[in-house]
């Protein structure tokens, strides 16, 4: 089998995508990227050796594996099937790898449509932060046919330190929504617990002195508390509006499966209230400030 690297296309070089794309180009993959509103990441990638395409169609003509790192299913659909979309320019056998957090129902449907046209879809949603993306230390949970997984694995390993093949197309997005239900659930619980603590005279600093290093400590807790304690806005750069999208996708999966999800609904409503109040562009740990403000307290250290 040839050891030549496949040509890669990358659409969505934002918070996560820029680091992923940079790892691909640094590790010798021929790379074509497509810009969005923010030009800076595109210019940096082109300076590092990537080519730029103006449309998904043009990008598809230059790639055999195309990574998408966009907001969700609506954007994936537009990029794949739009007038100048990937389908219009892709050669037979091209694999589209959706790294977005998408609705699994949509993923499975698009995959079937693409197979009928001689194209393939894999879902490879991400675990980790933009800082880990830059370091090539993300995790990828992949849904794909075995032979497609074998093809995309080397490219995924350029930006991920943990690559897990879960099963057929759609399984990656199913698992990602479960994962995000847990993490966003933690965010909602931490925010409520910290607010109640402050209200009854336990500061975030005291709260943390007990939790840190205990069985309740974890990586998500640490980045969340990095914001709460140090006011580091960039501790976890994932917006509340995107978090809300994910817990809404989870709700639709639960509805389709006939499973009541009362805890998921409670989590969704915490995020929905913050987004409805205009906080959608805040990052997840800042949910704590919103919940605190609703209860007449502040978690910021005084003085």
CB 119 within 8 A of CB 96: yes
| Residue 301 annotated to the active site | no
Max CA distance (Å), the chain: 66
E runs forming strands in the chain = 8-11, 31-34, 51-53, 65-68, 95-98, 120-123, 126-127, 138-143, 160-167
CA dist., res. 176 & res. 142, Å (int): 10
Cα-based distances in Å from 59 to 10, 40, 56, 70, 303? 8, 19, 5, 15, 53
Instruction: Quote the distance between the C-alpha of residue 87 and its chain's center.
Output: 23
Angle between helices 240-257 and 104-115 (to 10 degrees): 80
Q: Among 27, 51, 57, 176, which one carries the catalytic annotation?
A: 176
Q: What are 260-268's contacts with CB under 8 Å, separation 24+?
A: 263/185, 264/181, 264/185, 266/188, 267/181, 267/184, 267/185, 267/188, 268/244
Which residues form the catalytic set?
176
């Amino acid at each position: 089998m040839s050891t030549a690297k496949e040509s890669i296309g990358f659409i969505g070089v934002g918070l996560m995508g820029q680091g992923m794309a940079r790892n691909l180009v640094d590790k010798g993959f021929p790379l074509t990227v497509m810009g969005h509103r923010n030009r800076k990441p595109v210019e940096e990638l082109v300076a590092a050796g990537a080519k730029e395409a103006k449309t998904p169609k043009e990008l598809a003509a230059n790639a055999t594996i195309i990574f998408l790192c966009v907001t969700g299913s609506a954007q994936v659909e537009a990029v794949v099937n739009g007038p100048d979309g990937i389908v219009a320019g892709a050669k037979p056998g091209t694999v589209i790898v959706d790294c977005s957090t998408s609705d699994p129902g949509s993923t499975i449907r698009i995959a079937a449509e693409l197979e009928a046209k001689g194209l393939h879809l894999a879902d490879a949603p991400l675990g980790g932060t933009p800082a880990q993306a830059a370091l090539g230390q993300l995790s990828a949970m992949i849904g794909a046919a075995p032979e497609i997984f074998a093809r995309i694995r080397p490219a995924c390993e350029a930006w991920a330190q943990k690559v897990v093949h879960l099963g057929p197309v759609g399984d990656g997005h199913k698992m990602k929504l479960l994962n995000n239900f847990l993490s966003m659930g933690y965010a909602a619980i931490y925010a409520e617990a910290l607010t109640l603590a402050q209200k009854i005279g336990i500061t975030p600093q005291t709260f943390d002195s007990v939790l840190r290093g205990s069985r309740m400590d974890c990586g998500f807790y640490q980045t969340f508390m990095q914001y709460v304690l140090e006011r580091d806005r960039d501790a976890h750069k994932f917006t509340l509006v995107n978090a809300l999208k994910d817990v809404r996708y989870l709700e639709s999966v639960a509805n389709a499966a006939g499973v009541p999800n009362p805890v998921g609904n409670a989590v969704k409503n915490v995020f929905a209230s913050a987004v409805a109040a205009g906080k959608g562009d805040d990052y997840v740990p800042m949910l704590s400030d919103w919940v605190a403000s609703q209860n007449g307290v502040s978690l910021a250290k005084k003085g």
